[in-house]
Amino acid sequence: MALVSLAVVGKRNEPLYIREYTSESIVYPAGDGLAEIGLTLEGLMSIDGDDMNVAPGTESCSLRHQFILHSALDRLEELTAGNRWRAPGSVGSDAMWVGMLCPVDELKVYGYLTTTKIKFLVAVEDIFPPDQKQQLHARENEIKSLFANIHALYVEYMLNPFTNIESSIESRRFEEGVKSFVDAFNSSGLSVA
Amino acid sequence: MSSGPSIGNPSGGGVGGGNAGTATSDTDGGAGARAGASAPHPTHVSEVAYEFLLAEILHWVDEGAAAATGLHQQQQQQATEEEGKSPKKGKKGQPVPPPPVEDPRSREELTLLSAERAAAKVERLGFGVGYRLCERLAQSRPLLGPTPTGQGNRTANATDSQNSVTNGDSATIIISPAMQLEAVKFLCKEFWTEIFRKQIDKLQTNHRGVFVLKDHELRWLKRLPPDDETARVQAIKMLAFPCGLIRGALANLGIGAVVSCDFLADGKTMAACSFNIKVKT
């Protein structure tokens, strides 16, 4: 249950923050040409060459994941166009949870939309067989709380008057906070069979 | 200030830690600052401190605008008229400032220009604050949840995308009047309460994108003497900031608007004012 990549998208669907958190265990399907291109570019960009493991200091997200998140964005817009997608009576961060957007290969993308039209997207490895409902449910709850935490971090970032409105997020505090939440999420998954 | 505010409590400590400009004090308005000694204690700033700060902001902005429009240089030139030199040679024996570009403008025009510049700057400051504050206040509050049954029947017949219609490029989203009203109500209640500890007194709309918000007693103007001309001028300058606040908050909710302000001042109080919001379509 590894969180693979994460994106914060602004009001006009411009990316504010995209990161990926791959580990060596992910094996891309053989015939996936995009993956090779993505890896090559990533190798050029990242500091330690052609290492598939993205070192914490490098800021890159492979093209494949960017593409996946971008297409999930379309689905998110479809879902939220009507304003009746919220579960009735939900409050707070539950009301902003959109849910699973689309499954792509071995990943599932989840979405979250704030009142101020900021979207959070998360691509998670899909290792549960579809009949294990409660594990799926448990994981969704974890993702919900992850979104709530990232939202809180984003609000704190925005409250800083020295940040530029509607520009990409460049804050060490935000990065470290998100990284720690993602790590907590990933490590909690290992205990699940 | 010690870092106290808890994240999950937007209406309390969070504001105190984030925006020093709009922090609210705990009990009464005149309470002094109280630093949190233990770690999770939210910190507070006295409300009155912001009124002092606002007065200084206006002064600073005026100075900056006057310098930028060359008002001071004109004064300097008029003072050294006996030299008979053109402003291009102003560097001889004169302090630093570069020669003004628009020389033939009259003194009055420059004064007006600098006043406008100052007001625009204050409004821009308000925009930034309103934008960020709205982010915080909207953190746990979704606008316009599923409508209750009365309205629900009406909207059930309309298409699903009644509340927001996206254009092809999805860069411009048109917000329906119902959503606009919700956003302005949020502004009048939560937003205004957070800043001024009271709600807007009267909201009027023509349901076609124009809203009038009336506040009978704006806290920052309360202390101005009524019927004083200089006080009136100052009050108008001060009102640019709440205009910016409103514009920033609406911008963050996705509603572009133009906000202007008016005085409702009668002889008794200087603090009654109204804000006109015109949504851009």
pLDDT of residue B97: 54
Residue B271: helix, strand or coil by DSSP? coil
| Sign of the torsion formed by the C-alpha atoms of A29, A30, A36 and A42 | positive
For residue B278, give the H/E element and its range.
strand B273-279
Can you name the CATH fold of A3-186? Beta-Lactamase (3.30.450)
Q: Where are the domains of chain A?
A: 3-186
CB-based contact A81 B171, cutoff 8 Å: no
- Report CA B112 to chain centroid distance, whole Å: 21
- Token digits for A45? 């960009």
pLDDT of A31 over the 60 cut: no
CB atoms within 10 A of CB A29: 8
Q: How confident is the model at residue A102 (pLDDT cuts 50, 70, 90)?
A: confident
Nearest chain A alpha carbon to B174: A81
Q: Which residues of B touch A161 (CB under 8 A)?
A: 19, 128-129, 132
Round to whole Å and give the CA distance between A67 and A5.
Answer: 11
| Candidates A83, A85, A119, A149, partner chain B, best to mutate (most B CBs within 10 A) | A83
pLDDT of residue B258: 92
Can you name the CATH fold of B106-142+175-280? Muramoyl-pentapeptide Carboxypeptidase; domain 2 (3.30.1380)
**Closest Cβ opposite residue B161 in set A82, A116, A158:** A82
By mean pLDDT, which of A120-134, A163-177, B76-90 is the weakest? B76-90
Cα–Cα distance list, A28 to A32, A51, A71 (Å): 7, 14, 19
Say how many CB pairs under 8 Å bridge A and B: 81
Burial (CB < 10 A; 0-12, 13-18, 19+), residue A128, is: middle
pLDDT of residue A104: 83
Mean pLDDT of A181-185: 90
Q: Strand pairing partners for B277?
A: B211, B259
Measure the CA dihedral B69/B72/B73/B77, to 10°. Answer: 140
pLDDT of residue A190: 53
pLDDT of residue B15: 42
Nearest chain A alpha carbon to B173: A12
ipTM, 2 dp: 0.75
Cα–Cα distance list, A134 to A110, A117, A128, A182 (Å): 17, 31, 10, 21
Residue A63: helix, strand or coil by DSSP? helix
Q: Where are the domains of chain B?
A: 106-142+175-280
Residue B190's nearest CA partner among B143, B254, B243, B122 is B143
The pTM score is 0.71
Residue B138's nearest CA partner among A95, A145, A82 is A95
Higher pLDDT, B256 or A38: B256
Round to whole Å and give the CA distance between B205 and B211.
Answer: 4
Nearest chain B alpha carbon to A80: B161
Mean pLDDT of A19-26: 65
- Token digits for A104? 């792509």
What's the helix, strand, coil split of chain B in %, to 5?
45, 10, 40
Round to whole Å and give the CA distance between B99 and B155.
Answer: 63
Mean pLDDT of residues grouped by 10 in chain B (281 residues)? 41 40 42 47 84 90 85 68 48 50 70 89 93 89 51 36 43 70 87 89 89 89 82 88 93 90 77 90 77
CB-based contact B252 A116, cutoff 8 Å: yes
Q: Where are the alpha helices (DSSP H) in A103-167?
A: 133-159
Phi first, then psi: give them for residue B206, nearest 5 degrees.
-105, 15
